[in-house]
Amino acid sequence: MPKLSERLSRAVEGRYEIMDELGRGGMSMVFQARDVRHDRTVAVKVLLPELAASVGAQRFLREIEIAAGLVHPHILPLYDSGEAEGLLYHVTPLIDGETLRDRLKRDRYLSIEEACRITAEVSDALDFAHSQGVIHRDIKPENILLTRRHAVITDFGIARAITLGGGERLTETGMAVGTPAYMSPEQARGEAVLDGRSDIYSLACVTYEMMAGEAPLAGRSPQITMARRQAESPTSLVLLRETVPEALDGVVLKALSRLPADRYPAAAQYGDAVQMAVGMASGAHPSVSTPGQVTPASVTTQTTAVGTAASQVVGRLPFWEELKRRKVYNVAVVYLAASIGIFSFLANMKEIYGEASWYSWLPILLLVGFPVSLFLAWTFEVSREGVRRTGTFEVAAERGRRWPLISRRALITVLGIGVAYAAFEIVRRLFF
């Protein structure tokens, strides 16, 4: 079977001269090409053949045509699209720059100011697209290009075409539409009707990653990530990076709310709130370059949003409060209760302790047992890697659903201690 580049070269012969491969992903490949008619260098993105067969040419071209009507400084324009020899492709300018993913691979963390500027520019582009009735559905660092210090969104219309054209068949084959690390909870659930607030959630994931070094609630697999999105709230940015202003932390966490109704209703409001939050931290309104203008009404909205978010942020917690929030106290109490039960039973065995009552051991047990129990809780429940990486206390990852008050790991440990003690008593009474 000929290579995809050879098939594409034959399919577009006379119109485009395919040159080098620029990159590939799970759904497409990108090639550098020369536009023969206009004598210019362009980028040609072609869907993988198996995906193209599921989507269908007519639906793909219709969605691309809709996306082609989006003319905005921070949206990559579309030159051409088509279908030939079973291949679906579209043509865009070749941007002199890199993707946000390339930048994050190199630097991992961006400055607070740059992360907010990129967020504001992408928000402005999304707000324009949403006003035209177009939802992106796959906002992620790979689809954000950085050129001359500005952000440009790519691949408008692609995710929607894939979703509408082959959603059920793709699900059957195990191919997900979208990227789990940036999917909104409603998109991960497979809801058919999405609105702009789903894109806002995805963009907030990107904002979070630019400042924290990783996407929020990231798991070891896509399934774990999507499950955590349905049940957990992201760790505060303030706890992961102390230079993040509390107001900005509140804005991002609001955009990451599990329910769409709790997020910002419009992408522009999220972008405005981000700018206002970083401006509040520096004492001046930030000079972020965006095409849109801020009206007095939007300023009032963003001020209210930031003020509400900031009032909900608790900031960095003291050591003991942090342990309480991370359930370490709960685990320690279980260990302590188990140890009290065991020691009280032993203390009432007259052949070992004579006439001494177990109550006389209780003060010593509490003084010694609780620190020991807290140490056991820390050992079993707190992630070493999380403490090393973030400087705060992260509960160790566990398989399955989290229990509300105590972890399954702690209960299994206590049960194991009880079984071992029962075995010891049986052996002691039978043979000694």
CA 62: distance to chain centroid? 30
The answer on 279 and 130 residing in a single domain is yes
Position 166 in a domain: no
**CA separation, residue 266 to residues 70, 128, 195, 203, 255 (Å):** 17, 10, 10, 12, 10
Segment of 35-39, 371-375, 378-382 carrying the highest mean pLDDT: 35-39
The answer on 340 and 286 residing in a single domain is no
What is the tens place of the pLDDT at every residue in 341-369? 666 555 555 555 455 555 566 666 666 66
Nearest to 410 by CA among 343, 348, 326: 326
Find out whether 106 and 168 touch, Cβ atoms under 8 Å. no
The answer on 266 and 338 residing in a single domain is no
The answer on 271 and 399 residing in a single domain is no
Q: Give the number of other Cβ atoms within 10 Å of residue 223's Cβ.
A: 11
Tokens encoding 189: 């659930």
> Phi, psi (5° rounding) for residue 20?
-105, 155
pLDDT of residue 184: 92
Count of structural domains within the chain: 3
Q: What percent of the chain has pLDDT over 90?
A: 31
**Which helix H or strand E contains 273, and what residues bound it?**
helix 267-282
CA distance 141 to 103: 9
**Dihedral sign, CA of 176, 217, 234, 203?**
negative
- The residue with tokens 């692609």 is 158
Position 161 in a domain: no
CA distance 11 to 52: 14
Average pLDDT value for residue range 301-321: 39
Position 333 in a domain: yes
pLDDT of residue 402: 44
> Residue 268 maps to which CATH number?
1.10.510.10
Q: Is 138 a catalytic residue?
A: yes
CA angle 20, 24, 28 (to 5 degrees): 110
The answer on 295 and 345 residing in a single domain is no
Task: Choose, from 35, 127, 138, 199, the residue flagged as catalytic.
Answer: 138
| DSSP SS3 for 24 | strand
Average pLDDT value for residue range 286-291: 42
